[in-house]
Amino acid sequence: MEQSFEIGYVFQFIPKLISTLGTTLTIVAGAVFLGLAAGFLAALPRLYRVPVLQRVSQLYVSFFRGTPILIQLFLFYFGLPEVLKQIGIDVSKAPVLFFVILTYGLHTGAAVCEMIRAAVGSVDRGQVEAAYAVGMNGYRAFTRIVFPQAIAIALPIFSNVLLALTKETSLAFSLGIMEMTGKAQSLSTLTQHFVEAYLSLALVYLAVCFLLEKLLLGVEWRLLRHERQESETRAWFRSWKKIKWRRYSSEFPLERKEAGSYEA
Amino acid sequence: MKLDPSFIWTAFTQLLSVIPTTLLITAVSVACGLIIGTAVALIRTFRVPVLAPIAAGYVTFIRGTPMLTHLLLIYFGLPIALDALAAQFGWGFRSASIPMIAFAFIAFSITAGGYASEVVRSGLLAVNRGQMEAAHSVGMTTAQALRRIVIPQAFAASLPNISNLVVGMLHASTLAFTVSVVEVTAKAQIVASTNWKFFDAYLAAALIYWGLTLLVERASGLVERRINVYDRGGVA
């Protein structure tokens, strides 16, 4: 039933797959915005230890990190209309894309919540105390002091979350969404060239992930410019004993370690 | 169609019978993945001439593409390659005789290998360089130093990542339904469509995965406490 491998089909399939890239990116973009909102809302009660909401947030994160995304997709697709029908809202006519974005958004929200907790936790406690000492209130201390520092720490994690989400959207085909994987499946059954179709699918995903990675590295480079400037000024002042500085910096390489970087 | 608690229980008991399949896929893929990952990480750490770029390419490809594509590529590509080889060398071997679950094992091991190599590499990097030098200075060979000094510490450092990998592969084993292996997700689909109760069946499956995930996390917490005994600081 299967034909022999022909490399020409790979190049023929790639433009056809790119034509459905928009659907994949729609899911990714929708899920990221929803996930950031949900994750932020879920992280706040845990950061400020709000009694009951803290437990709810824990349960939310535990569920979305403890079950596979595929199961979550099915649960929301089949379950949400039932649950909402009980309170008188009819969503059975809503497009499938709505359920898909909602599920991926909540799934991402759990990861974002953990990311925010880790990032805020890694900002030195003394920074908040110093902010209070100069008379800032809690809100200002958060928005002006903690948040800008936390976001620089969170960005590499966010980059991982985004890339994982991009790859996970390949499961949306199981609810019948015509995104890249769904398109690849229909192309492969149409032409009976399975390997070529999935190879080109892998190549398109590779390119998309690579571009996203580069984009986020650029943003990160821009966000961390305050740290870079400091080391540049220090290098300037030390230029008169450059040789010694060079030895110092080669002993303690100043490069950052990125958890799970792409080319790493 | 109403939520039916008694049916959730029925589905739950039916799903229990296929948990071993899910666990087997997870265990095989993590075990093979760690072996592949350690080899890849060592190749890249010691910068073995020809193999290092190949290993880097492998890791980039695996981490840049969805797992589903790995599975489908193996599922459709491997039989073609094997049949071609068999025809060339005259083996009496047909790809149709490969059981379905073998494709899941192979594909998931390859995927886990790519991710595990990063886990192992970050673990190796976490061990101070001086440890290796100290081992050399007391006369150990590199292989001895790796086995006795570096790897135990690297393992302790990478244990949280390994537990993440196990949970990741547990969740990823749901993809095996695309190559018609009957594990928990596929069984839930069968139970759901024969009884026309989708939500209840998937809820039961979700509970099973949730429970398994919590078990893995608890177990890794226990092992972590045991393995970090050497690293408690203080006197005594």
pLDDT digits (tens, 9 = 90+) for A50-81: 889 999 999 999 999 999 999 999 999 888 88
Put simply, the answer to whether A195 touches B67 (Cβ < 8 Å) is no
Q: Spell out the domain ranges in chain B.
A: 5-228
Vertex B206 angle, CA B202 and B207, to 5°: 120
Task: Please tell me whether residue A109 adopts helix, strand or coil conformation.
Answer: helix
Distance between CA atoms of residues B61 and B49, nearest Å: 20
- Rounded to an integer, the average pLDDT of A233-244 is 51
Residues in chain B with CB shorter than 8 Å from the CB of A75 are 199, 202-203, 206
- A195 closest CB neighbour out of B3, B77, B167: B77
Provide the whole-model pTM: 0.82
Put simply, the answer to whether A257 touches B205 (Cβ < 8 Å) is no
The CATH T-level fold of domain B5-228 is: MetI-like fold (1.10.3720)
Q: What is the ipTM of this complex?
A: 0.84
Asked whether the beta carbons of B204 and B132 are under 8 A apart, the reply is: no
Distance between CA atoms of residues B120 and B157, nearest Å: 9
* Chain B residue with minimum CA distance to A193: B76
- A74 closest CB neighbour out of B59, B77, B202: B202
* Chain B residue with minimum CA distance to A262: B60
The full set of domains in chain A, from first to last, is: 7-243 (1.10.3720.10)
Distance between CA atoms of residues A33 and A36, nearest Å: 5
pLDDT digits (tens, 9 = 90+) for B61-81: 999 999 999 999 999 888 888
Task: Please tell me whether residue A221 adopts helix, strand or coil conformation.
Answer: helix
> What is the DSSP-derived secondary structure letter of residue A141?
I
Higher pLDDT, A234 or B54: B54
Q: Give the pLDDT of residue B54.
A: 93
pLDDT digits (tens, 9 = 90+) for A141-185: 888 888 888 888 888 889 999 999 999 999 888 888 888 888 888
Spell out which chain A residues touch chain B, with contact meaning CB-CB distance below 8 angstroms.
2, 4-5, 62-63, 65-72, 74-75, 78-79, 82, 167-168, 170-171, 181, 188, 194-195, 198-199, 201-202, 205-206, 209-210, 257, 259-260, 262-264
Of B183, B191, B228, B234, which is closest to residue B209 (Cα–Cα)?
Answer: B183
Distance between CA atoms of residues A119 and A149, nearest Å: 8
